[in-house]
Amino acid sequence: MKAHDGFYIDGAWRPAVGRDPIDVIDPAAEQVIGQVPAGTAEDVDTAVRAARAALPAWAATAPAERAARLAALRDVLTARKDEIAETVTAELGSPLNFSQAVHAAVPIAVAASYAELAATHSFEEKVGNSTVLHEPIGVVGAITPWNYPLHQIVAKVAPALAAGCTVVLKPAEDTPLTAQLFAEAIHEAQFPAGVFNLVTGIGRIAGQALAEHPGVDLVSFTGSTAVGKQIAVTAGAAVKKVALELGGKSANVILPSADLAKAVNVGVANVMSNSGQTCSAWTRMLVHTSQYDEAVELAITAAAKYGERIGPLVNARQRDRVRGYIDKGVAEGARLVAGGTESPRERGYFVSPTVFADVTPEMTIAQEEIFGPVLSVLRYEDTEDALRIANGTVYGLAGAVWGEEAEAVAFARRMETGQVDINGGRFNPRAPFGGYKQSGVGRELGAHGLAEYLQTKSLQF
């Protein structure tokens, strides 16, 4: 794997002499595949200065020019999609077909959507005797996780650039090679120097320096709730805008009128794909008591099918964390019906597709985000009971409802969550994505995601 020994700042790779390196590890082989530099507060400062210097000119470019650059970015990502998939597989561990179909393809679709939105969005509106200008908010500090390494970068950087903002990115230390590839793509797409800057590094040093930097106007963060809360406090103290995309514990609600086999099969696949490392995964399956035993049998069969295909977790710490939750599920009295803590392979950070039955709503495994291939199947007595369980966590990121359509929609309307798939609805890259409750603040994707990077100015006539 190609790795740059530098930071992409002000349109060039700046050598990172004397900076500690971060080892990049292939989690399937447990082998070091490259090294990238760990940025300091000084490196972050250099990058923020570059972004500030580039801001006035970029903010003043015509939206059509920003759209043209984003279309070029879409084309570069498309031309390099195999390399993207291989890089994500190497440092995250996801199976190559999933890397191609999701990790490479989704960011291309998102970049394409912002190329179009930049060209068509109204950056001005009339309100009575006022003209309201939608202006870029300024310099964006973007901090991203490793689970969808390119998607989470593009979901922040593309709308920020479309809005006329400039960006400094601190990607996850586990997946920096994908971030470096993205910086190369920005360069190839001929964005002006300083409009996008990359500082690899570790969270509590480079990430924190970025969140605290007075030259940053908006911090956009995706990751754990614990770090998100800290960033919100830091940003709040400086009266900085913050966007947070945090964890989830989403419910997959199967109504008695549903196609049970389809609902269970799609539900299991949703939890096991990306080795369960998906913030919006439907990790709680809610089944009516009359269909409960049949659903558990179907889930066991579906999970077994995933056994051969599943990738490793991103690192040893995440694997150990997931195993800890499996132990806790057993200790609290849930019934382990598939998988478990035993490693399915000799090498790599693998966890078997795991299913728990007889999970009750207050158990730890039904409340906390596990971030691994672990499904909890819960029983409900009636619709009100299902709704109480579905809404009974601190999270509200996503969810699913299966059943007769009108009935499913009526249920979805009462869910406290930001996205609901009805009978296996398709992913829409333009639909707003984000959380209710402690799953976050703000929205990503589409026009709603663009609006996060704009602020209004009213001119009265």
Shortest approach of ligand NAP to residue 376 CB, angstroms? Answer: 15
Residue of 85, 88, 102, 227 that binds ligand NAP (CB under 6 A): 227
Shortest approach of ligand NAP to residue 145 CB, angstroms? Answer: 3
**Binding of ligand NAP by 254 (CB under 6 A):** no
Using the contact rule CB under 6 A, the part of the chain among 40-48, 89-97, 205-213, 256-264 near ligand NAP is: 205-213
Our CB check for ligand NAP shows the closer of 209 and 285 to be: 209
Residue of 43, 245, 421, 452 that binds ligand NAP (CB under 6 A): 245
Q: Is 245 a catalytic residue?
A: yes
**Binding of ligand NAP by 235 (CB under 6 A):** no
**Binding of ligand NAP by 159 (CB under 6 A):** no
Shortest approach of ligand NAP to residue 30 CB, angstroms? Answer: 18
Residue of 223, 311, 373, 449 that binds ligand NAP (CB under 6 A): 223
Shortest approach of ligand NAP to residue 224 CB, angstroms? Answer: 3
**Binding of ligand NAP by 246 (CB under 6 A):** yes
**Binding of ligand NAP by 105 (CB under 6 A):** no
Q: Is 279 a catalytic residue?
A: yes
Q: How many residues at the interface with ligand NAP, by CB under 6 A?
A: 28
Q: Which entry of 86, 279, 369, 444 is annotated as an active-site residue?
A: 279
Shortest approach of ligand NAP to residue 212 CB, angstroms? Answer: 8
Q: What is the 3-state secondary structure (H, E, C) of the chain?
A: CCCCCEEEECCEEEECCCCCEEEEEECCCCEEEEEEECCCHHHHHHHHHHHHHHHHHHHCCCHHHHHHHHHHHHHHHHHCHHHHHHHHHHHHCCCHHHHHHHHHHHHHHHHHHHHHHHHHCCCEEEECCEEEEEEECCEEEEECCCCCHHHHHHHHHHHHHHHCCEEEEECCCCCHHHHHHHHHHHHHCCCCCCCEEECCCCHHHHHHHHHHCCCCCEEEEECCHHHHHHHHHHHHHCCCEEEEECCCCCEEEECCCCCHHHHHHHHHHHHHHHHHCCCCCCCEEEEEHHHHHHHHHHHHHHHHHHCCCCCCCCCHHHHHHHHHHHHHHHHCCCEEEECCCCCCCCCCCCCCCEEEEEECCCCHHHHCCCCCCEEEEEEECCHHHHHHHHCCCCCCCCEEEECCHHHHHHHHHCCCCCCCEECCCCCCCCCCECCCHHHEECCECHHHHHHCCEEEEEEEC
Residue of 2, 126, 204, 414 that binds ligand NAP (CB under 6 A): 204
Q: Which entry of 91, 173, 245, 452 is annotated as an active-site residue?
A: 245
Residues recognised as catalytic: 245, 279
Footprint on this chain of ligand NAP (rule: CB under 6 A) = 143-147, 170, 172-174, 202-204, 207-208, 211, 222-224, 227, 230-231, 245-247, 279, 318, 369, 371
